[in-house]
């Protein structure tokens, strides 16, 4: 039997829907994803920690959920909003429906919601917070609080190593997606992922040929206290930053970050590589960007720019082997236009990083 649920918004709006997944109360920042596919990867992407995700594409769950495509061991998002969930998925690997996956991990959701109208509301009001509840009267006394500490929630608690014959890359796990690890391993790298707050001296003891600052959730400025100790290490070892990692490296070198009006989330965002003039279609998931006017131009070149709003999407250091991108070059699922960036990074690890120990 269908059970009514409600989305109470910080704007004062109350939206009615039908419960899917767990019938548990939850609250978080409301964000929207414009991808037509990839809902399994979205649900398991740690960068969505503490957020209620609205899918603009109306039909979600049509190819089900499988055991191979998760980006993390369990979802970290707060809730899900869809218009039409598919209860009879069609795919040879499908093992669960959307409802079954959400219920198994205790994640609440609402269906029957006009998600495109909700997206317009988010675009109009910008920062919007919501509560999923069975009692719409909660709107009278609910006041949303800030979502903090999400990186600590999603980062691993102990180091993990994957064997490989190539350069040794240490990944600082701020909420790393499994597909980033897979992209490095596919290029022969030995990979060690460590907790986000691992001291730099412990990472150096691992003798890395390269460092990767991963994606992750939240405001990058929450992690400012960790950055001064990392700059001397990043200046010595080839380093790549992805999404949150890109923002952290920019902050590390004196740039500033700011919140976007409503973020970039989807697998269809055009980004221009300035050196070649090529436009890549990219997968993105972020609510903050590096402020262009704050980039120290004596040290960094802006390498990529968002075609839609002109925001900074990539940086390359003028002298040191450091490259960063705001988007997700591993793109699972999605376009593979920017996967070449991993090739460039691994080459730096082989030609520059490995020589440190010769």
> Among all residues, which ones are annotated catalytic?
243, 328, 330
Closest CA to 130 of 186, 189, 50: 50
Q: Is residue 342 within a helix (H) or strand (E), and if so which, with residue range?
A: helix 340-348
Could you give the 3-state DSSP secondary structure of residue 202? Answer: helix
Q: Record the tokens describing residue 350, joined without a space.
A: 């082989």
215 marked among binding-site residues: no
Give the Cα separation of 235 and 63 in Å (integer).
45
51 marked among binding-site residues: no
Which string of b and e fits 236-247 if b means at least 16 CB within 10 Å?
ebbbbbbbbbbb
Give the Cα separation of 311 and 329 in Å (integer).
17
47 marked among binding-site residues: yes
Give the Cα separation of 324 and 314 in Å (integer).
5
Could you give the 3-state DSSP secondary structure of residue 71? Answer: coil
218 marked among binding-site residues: yes
Q: Provide the total of helices (H) and of strands (E) in the chain, helices listed first.
A: 9, 19
267 marked among binding-site residues: no
Give me the helix-helix angle, 340-348 and 178-185, nearest 10°: 60
5 marked among binding-site residues: no
Binding site for L-glutamine, residues? 47, 216, 218, 244, 247, 285, 287-288
Residues making up the annotated binding site are: 47, 216, 218, 244, 247, 285, 287-288
């Amino acid at each position: 039997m269908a059970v009514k649920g409600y989305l109470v918004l910080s704007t004062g709006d109350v939206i009615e829907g039908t419960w899917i997944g767990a019938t548990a109360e939850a609250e978080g920042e409301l964000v929207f994803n414009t991808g037509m596919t990839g809902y399994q990867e979205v649900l398991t992407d740690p960068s969505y920690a503490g957020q209620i995700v609205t899918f603009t594409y109306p039909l979600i769950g049509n190819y089900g959920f499988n055991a191979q495509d998760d980006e993390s061991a369990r979802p970290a998002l707060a809730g899900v909003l869809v218009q039409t969930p598919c209860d009879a998925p069609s795919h040879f690997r499908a093992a669960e429906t959307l409802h079954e996956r959400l219920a198994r991990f205790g994640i609440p959701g609402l269906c029957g919601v006009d998600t495109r109208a909700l997206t317009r509301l988010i675009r109009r009001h910008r920062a919007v917070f919501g509560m999923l509840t069975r009692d719409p009267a909660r709107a009278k006394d609910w006041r949303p609080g800030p979502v903090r500490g999400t990186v600590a929630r999603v980062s691993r608690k102990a180091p993990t190593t994957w064997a490989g014959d190539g350069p040794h890359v240490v990944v600082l796990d701020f909420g790393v997606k499994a597909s980033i690890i897979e992209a490095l391993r596919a290029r022969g790298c030995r990979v060690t992922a460590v907790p986000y707050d691992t001291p730099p001296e412990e990472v150096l003891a691992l003798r890395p040929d390269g460092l990767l600052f991963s994606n992750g959730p939240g405001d990058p400025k929450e992690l400012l206290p960790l950055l001064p100790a990392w700059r001397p290490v990043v200046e010595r070892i080839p380093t790549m930053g992805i999404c949150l990692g890109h923002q952290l490296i920019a902050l590390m070198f004196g740039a500033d970050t700011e919140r976007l009006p409503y973020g970039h989330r989807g697998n269809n965002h055009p980004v221009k590589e300035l050196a070649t003039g090529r436009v890549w279609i990219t997968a993105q998931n972020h609510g903050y960007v590096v402020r262009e006017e704050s980039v120290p131009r004596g040290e960094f070149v802006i390498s990529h720019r968002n075609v839609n709003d002109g925001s900074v999407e990539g940086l390359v250091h003028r002298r040191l082997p450091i490259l960063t991108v705001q988007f997700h070059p591993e793109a699972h699922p999605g376009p593979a236009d920017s996967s070449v960036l991993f090739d460039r990074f691994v080459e730096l690890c082989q030609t520059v990083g490995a020589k440190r120990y010769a």
